[in-house]
């Protein structure tokens, strides 16, 4: 599993590789928790690529409900069908009802699409943004990988999707859902691993620039920031500097491109107090 993921450019440690392997063997979701930008969502994309399966994403938000996540009926098309039937002189009410709630009028949302698509990778992104009621609904669905639609009956996945749930820990997700999953905490990587990620994901960036950017981000994370930069921001910063034609970075260039890595004014102001020259000197600049 580890080698298949790394072939996609996604580097994993032993714990995450084992969690992904067990998710496939045991048909259990992987619950990924950690700060934003540390690679949780990217894991689902890498799994989909490694398994040659479509990625189906459900973006959670406050107020999301089952109809938005599971299925809905195409009311405009149903209405057109009803009018066409009436124009054709169809008066059989039971027949019309059966036709109106046929599968052709069913609009499959991400959860239902994942149950109907084999194989597939289902990403339930930022589950911590949803409410308790939706959490309970999701727990039931992931326990059986089936859903009952009153008009059609019970639909079950022939092959359960590989499920990745992510949380930025804006609130605590209930233990019942976590117990159903294989849990993995995503921490910010150390220098060596983060540098390897940058080199793997951005081979066009010079080795010198990749090393310097990684060192600078590691130093920024040691500051008291509102939002410490994740790996995603490290990659963004390296891309920005490479787009400027830089093969290496100095303190002045680092300061004027902070907007690529920090997203709060308070963090930018605080970062300007960092001795970028000293950090770069520590990397042999």
Q: Name the residue range of residue 84's domain.
A: 72-103
Tokens 């060596």 locate to 192
Take residue 141 and report the two structure tokens written for it: 């669905």
Give the Cα separation of 226 and 224 in Å (integer): 7
Whether the CB-CB separation of 193 and 41 falls below 8 Å is answered with: no
> What pLDDT score does 37 carry?
87
- Tell whether 201 and 246 lie within a shared domain: yes
Residue-wise pLDDT for 67-124, tens only, equals 899 998 888 888 888 888 878 887 777 777 778 888 888 899 999 999 999 999 999 9
Q: What is the CA radius of gyration of the chain?
A: 24
108 within a domain of the structure (yes/no):
no
**Residue 27, in any domain of the structure:** yes
To which residue do tokens 């039937």 refer? 85
Report the chain's mean pLDDT, rounded to a whole number: 92
List the alpha helices (DSSP H) in the chain: 2-7, 14-26, 40-51, 66-69, 75-87, 93-100, 110-116, 132-144, 175-179, 191-201, 207-221, 231-243, 251-256, 265-271, 276-282
Tell me: do 27 and 51 sit in the same domain.
Answer: yes
The answer to whether the CB of 106 falls within 8 A of the CB of 71 is yes
* 51 shares a domain with 78: no
| φ, ψ dihedrals at 237, nearest 5° | -65, -45
Do residue 166 and residue 242 come from a single domain?
no
Number of domains in the chain: 3
Q: Which of 164, 186, 208 is the last residue of a domain?
A: 186
| 127 part of a folded domain | yes
Alpha-carbon distance of 62 to 46, in angstroms, equals 27
Q: Are residues 53 and 82 in the same domain?
A: no
Domain co-membership, 136 together with 227: no
Does the bond joining 119 to the residue before it have cis omega, within 30 degrees of 0? Answer: yes
- Angle between helical axes of 231-243 and 191-201 (0-180°, round to 10): 50
Give the CATH number for residue 10.
Answer: 3.40.50.300
In a domain, 197, yes or no: yes
How far is the C-alpha of 96 from the C-alpha of 137, rounded, in Å?
Answer: 31
Whether omega for the bond prior to residue 145 falls within 30 degrees of 0, making it cis, is no
- Give the mean model confidence (pLDDT) for residues 39-55: 96
Count of C-beta atoms within a 10 Å radius of residue 228:
19
Q: Are residues 120 and 247 in the same domain?
A: no
Identify whether residues 128 and 91 lie together within a single domain.
no
- Measure the CA dihedral 30/17/49/33, to 10°: 40
Assign 183 a pLDDT band (cuts: 50, 70, 90): very high
Write out the two tokens for 80: 């057109």
Q: Write the CB contacts of 255 (distance below 8 Å, at least 6 apart in sequence).
A: 272, 276
Q: Is the pLDDT of residue 285 over 60?
A: no
129 & 199 share domain? no
> Are residues 236 and 165 located together in one domain of the fold?
no
Name which of 238, 233, 187, 236 is nearest 211 in CA terms. 238
Residues 220-231: what's their mean pLDDT? 93
Residues 285 and 283: their CA atoms lie apart, in Å, by: 6
Query: Could you tell me if 119 and 203 lie in one domain?
Result: no
Is position 164 within any domain?
yes
Res 100: pLDDT: 81
Of the residues 168, 186, 204, the one at which a domain ends:
186
Would you state the pLDDT for residue 115? 94
**pTM for the complete prediction?**
0.84
Last residue of a domain, one of 144, 161, 186: 186
8 Å CB contact between 86 and 128: no
Same domain, 205 and 223: yes
Confidence of residue 278 (pLDDT cuts 50, 70, 90): very high
């Amino acid at each position: 599993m580890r080698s298949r993921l790394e072939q996609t450019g996604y580097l994993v440690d032993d714990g995450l590789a084992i969690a992904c392997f067990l998710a496939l063997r045991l048909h259990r979701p992987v619950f990924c928790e950690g700060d934003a930008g540390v690679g949780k969502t990217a894991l689902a994309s890498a799994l989909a690529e490694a398994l040659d399966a479509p990625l189906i994403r459900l973006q959670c938000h406050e107020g999301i409900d089952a109809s938005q996540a599971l299925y809905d009926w195409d009311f405009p098309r149903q209405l057109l069908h009803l009018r066409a039937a009436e124009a054709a002189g169809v008066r059989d009410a039971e027949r019309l009802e059966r036709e109106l709630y046929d599968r052709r009028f069913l609009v499959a949302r991400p959860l239902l699409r994942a149950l109907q698509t084999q194989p597939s990778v289902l990403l339930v992104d930022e589950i911590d943004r949803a409410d308790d009621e939706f959490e309970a609904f999701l727990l039931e669905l992931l326990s059986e990988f089936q859903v009952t639609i009153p008009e059609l009956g019970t639909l079950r996945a022939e092959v359960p999707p590989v499920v990745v749930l992510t949380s930025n820990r804006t609130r605590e997700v209930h233990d019942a859902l976590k117990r159903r999953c294989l849990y993995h905490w995503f921490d910010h990587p150390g220098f060596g691993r983060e540098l390897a990620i940058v080199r793997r994901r951005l081979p066009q960036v010079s080795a010198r620039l990749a090393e310097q950017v990684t060192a600078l981000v590691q130093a920024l994370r040691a500051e008291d920031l509102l939002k410490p930069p994740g790996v995603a921001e490290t990659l963004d910063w390296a891309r920005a500097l490479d787009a400027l034609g830089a093969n290496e970075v100095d303190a002045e260039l680092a300061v004027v491109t902070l907007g690529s890595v920090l997203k709060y004014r308070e963090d930018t102001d605080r970062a300007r107090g960092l001795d970028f020259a000293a950090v770069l000197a520590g990397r042999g600049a």
